[in-house]
Amino acid sequence: MNLLFMSGVDNADSWRDALCNELPEVDFRIWPDDAEPREEIDYVLAWRPQPGELRKFPNLKAILSLGAGIDGIFCDPDLPEDVPVVRLVDRCLTEGMSEYVIYWTLHYHRHFGAYTAMVADGEWDNLPQHDTNLRRVGILGLGELGGDAARKLATLGFDVAGWSRSEKDIPWIIGFSGAEGLTPFLNRSEILVNLLPLTPETEGIINKDTLAALPEGAVVINPARGGHVVDEDLLAALESGHVAAATLDVFHEEPLPKDHPYWKHPNVAVTPHIASLTVPHSAAEFIAENIRLIEAGKPPLNVVDREKGY
């Protein structure tokens, strides 16, 4: 079988080693040099392929995403409709995202940003410590990533709620769902974490109305997609003080332009889309499992529902 790797060539060797270890029979090819003849390609492993390229492979059995998000694939207007697109669900990817969310939740919960500034000024003082059981954290999105982060925060003692499109029942997590559940969910979220997939329905969901529904002094953590945030609205909420701070890992334009106000805003922490990075040796296990299923005539796991967009 022939698999075409359509991503940066800088890490192609790591992916080749990982996948060939799982599937010794695979012919690992690298875009664009090894893409011909295109009718021989069975699988494409991609993150943000060039629009129009995927439809040029007539015998594709599946398009396998290199990440948890699939918006970089579905932005292609010529994406072949009869080829399944498979999300990456991977232990390391999930654990990495939960680590990021836990780190920044603790950062705000324990005032570590304020302490860092105090120490830099040679100031020795302490700030009131909040009861973890009374700290209300809200997770937007209770899928693979959001559900794991919510459960782990709850085991640390936080009062965790989650909001999802449809109702979900997760032990220790207060559930909200649907349009009618969004505002009451936001009303209680002192620390708001966005882990939604980016779809037409969720684009711009962090806006002036949803930010206004948060408690005074809330903080926002967004490691999902830049398209979820209306930048002007978040900046306005930060300037007014209604939102105390924000940590942003993803942006409308990446890399974030040097002149963007987020860089120098005193209450914004910027990270360069590193909340959770794909680890080839771990992801290869899931990818290989799906290829084996397809080769055996069975449906792969975690196929994207094109109507829902995730």
38 classed as catalytic: no
Q: Is this model's pTM higher than 0.85 or not? A: yes
The CATH number of the domain holding residue 15 is: 3.40.50.720
Q: What's the CA gap between 1 and 3, in Å, rounded?
A: 7
Q: Is the pLDDT of residue 302 over 80?
A: yes
54-82 pLDDT per residue, tens: 999 999 999 999 988 899 999 999 999 99
The three-point CA angle 39-2-309 to 5° equals 80
Whether 257 and 165 map to the same domain: the answer is yes
pLDDT of residue 207: 98
Segment 77-120, tens digit of pLDDT: 999 999 999 999 999 999 999 999 999 999 999 999 999 999 99
Residues 219 and 291 in one domain: no
> Across residues 182-205, what is the average pLDDT?
97
Query: Is 308 part of any domain?
Result: no
Do 15 and 163 lie in one domain? The reply is no
> Are both 81 and 182 inside the same structural domain?
no
- Is residue 195 one of the residues assigned to a domain? yes
Residue 64 lies in a domain: yes
> pLDDT band at 186, cuts 50/70/90?
very high
Residue 254's nearest CA partner among 96, 90, 71 is 71
Indicate which residue of 225, 242, 260, 281 is catalytic.
225
HSE-up (13 A, CA, CB side) for residue 227: 12
Q: Is 165 a catalytic residue?
A: no
**Domain encompassing residue 44:** 2-90+278-295
Q: Binning pLDDT at 50, 70 and 90, where does residue 9 land?
A: low
**pLDDT reported for residue 7:** 87
Structural domains counted in the chain: 2
In a domain, 136, yes or no: yes
**Whether residue 107 is found in the same domain as residue 246:** yes
The values of phi and psi at residue 134, to 5°, are -105, 0
Peptide bond into 184 cis (omega under 30): no
- Is the pLDDT reported for residue 24 higher than 80? yes
Task: Please identify which of the residues 111, 273, 292, 306 carries the catalytic annotation.
Answer: 273
Residues 200 and 289 in one domain: no
